[in-house]
Amino acid sequence: MDQDRLSPRTATLALLLVLVLPTAPLAEEKTNPLRFYAQDNGSYLQATLGVDYAYFSQHNAWYGVDETRFGTKIDSWSESLIRPGLEGTYFLPSSQSVYGRIDVVQANTFGGVDAGFTNAELGDVSWLGIDKAYLGWRSGRLFGSLGDDFLDLSFGRQVYATGTSFLFGSEGGAGFRRAAYYLGGRKSADWAAIARMKSGPWSGDLFGFENNSVFPRNTSAGGATLGYTFAPEANIGGSVAAIESDVNSRDGMQVVDLRGSVQPFALSGGPAALRPFKLEGEFVHEDRDETMDSGFGWYLAASYQWSEVAWKPELTYRYASFDEDYDTLFYSAVDWGSWFQGEITGEYDLFNTNLDSHMLRLKVQPVEPLSLNVFYYRFTLHDPQFFGVESDDYVDEWNLIADWTVTPHLTLSLVGALAIPDDGAEEYFGDDENWTAGMVMATVRY
């Protein structure tokens, strides 16, 4: 072993330590401290930097059959990302502006095999590549009464996302030779052209992109998104898309997505105690040609936050259903639990296909920098025979997650998870051990 060479773990931890040592009161910072060019009209150019490190520990992975069924013992491993970049905006005399960004990702998986087995035959993996690289133009006051920046055109390696990323949220792929399966360093499409429009309560997109898969089977999509905000407490939106793909089940697919959210008592001026109550949902229909069945996926959620109570508790119940023909396409995460449902089941086992789930979430904030989440999931199989089992009862999972915002640039997260197999999982895997998992993660953003 070359003693003069830093391991990915040592290099990442050293960089984290350097980045988070404050040289001034970080809470007072109004702009990125890496900004090195600025004009009075708002034009700027700045460096950007993201660093992620996560350590994972698993016990009885895959309900005790990891080694016998997959040939590899899952114990612990680490992942890291280092993402330096450059971004800027230049305002033209006419109030129009051009903007752009580029960043490079150094991704690593080391110290063991991840629970998705993506590096089982590769060992420690390092990958270096470009994620984001795009240019854009905003219209400023060019269109007068339609509002500032009515039109926003962009092209390049970027992410196209809608709503809660239930359908579109990450068009790249990670793991395997790209490393960092969980942290997901490669998220942008290979190319994406997006025309965004917004005027008053209306917003809309025209989009086209080709994803950047880890595997040699790419998919392109083109379509439109439309949204309307009735009030801060109510909105509705939807997307339509046509899919072309090297994957037969995707090629020629037509997708319709409808979504919305409302706080009914706040919207109607109801009792103050009921105004935080919120309903939201989304429905996706994937139409294939007559030789293949269509896919359906949807969810409904209800939440309530006691904002005037100590710790500001927020309780959410969500039911989600995905039939056995549903294709997750390019879903992603905007928060814990969406849309990777469960830090065990949703990360490694069931990927929102042939799945019905009940989720109960309690979020509290004991002090301003610290938030705690407790999740309970009840997973059942939409069609157990599709998995070759008799029972649709699959897994009960518990997650405990703590997020501590140490500084405006550093967040530490601690995750514990327990998955308890039910009859369907026991029949499918042939064992009944409880699967436990833990993770410690540090995230730095500039």
* Structure-block tokens of residue 87: 């971004």
* Structure-block tokens of residue 329: 């396409």
Q: Are 380 and 341 in contact (CB under 8 A)?
A: no
Rounded CA-CA distance 342/358 in Å is: 11
Selection from 116-120, 279-283, 307-311 with the highest mean pLDDT: 279-283
In a domain, residue 126? The reply is no
In a domain, residue 372? The reply is yes
Rounded CA-CA distance 8/132 in Å is: 22
pLDDT for res 216: 85
In a domain, residue 23? The reply is no
pLDDT for res 71: 86
> What is the band of 7 on the pLDDT scale with cuts at 50, 70, 90?
low
Report whether pLDDT(25) > 70: no
Amino acid sitting at position 182: Y
Task: Give the DSSP H or E segment for 423.
Answer: helix 423-429
> What is the band of 188 on the pLDDT scale with cuts at 50, 70, 90?
very high
CATH code for the domain of 168: 2.40.160.100
* Structural domain containing residue 190: 48-74+141-445
In a domain, residue 10? The reply is no
pTM as predicted:
0.90
Average pLDDT, integer, range 137-165 = 95
In a domain, residue 131? The reply is no
Task: Give the DSSP H or E segment for 427.
Answer: helix 423-429
Report whether pLDDT(52) > 90: yes
* Structure-block tokens of residue 130: 């470009």
In a domain, residue 106? The reply is no
Average pLDDT, integer, range 213-219 = 90
Average pLDDT, integer, range 384-395 = 95
In a domain, residue 316? The reply is yes
In a domain, residue 206? The reply is yes
Report whether pLDDT(281) > 50: yes
pLDDT for res 19: 52
Average pLDDT, integer, range 143-170 = 95
Which range, of 66-80, 225-239, 409-423, averages the lowest pLDDT? 66-80
412-423 residues labelled b (16+ CB within 10 A) or e (exposed):
bbebebbbebbe
The total number of structural domains in the chain stands at 1
Report whether pLDDT(5) > 90: no
Rounded CA-CA distance 146/21 in Å is: 46
Report whether pLDDT(24) > 90: no
Q: Are 317 and 279 in contact (CB under 8 A)?
A: no
Rounded CA-CA distance 412/415 in Å is: 10
Report whether pLDDT(11) > 70: no
339: preceding bond cis by omega (within 30 degrees): yes
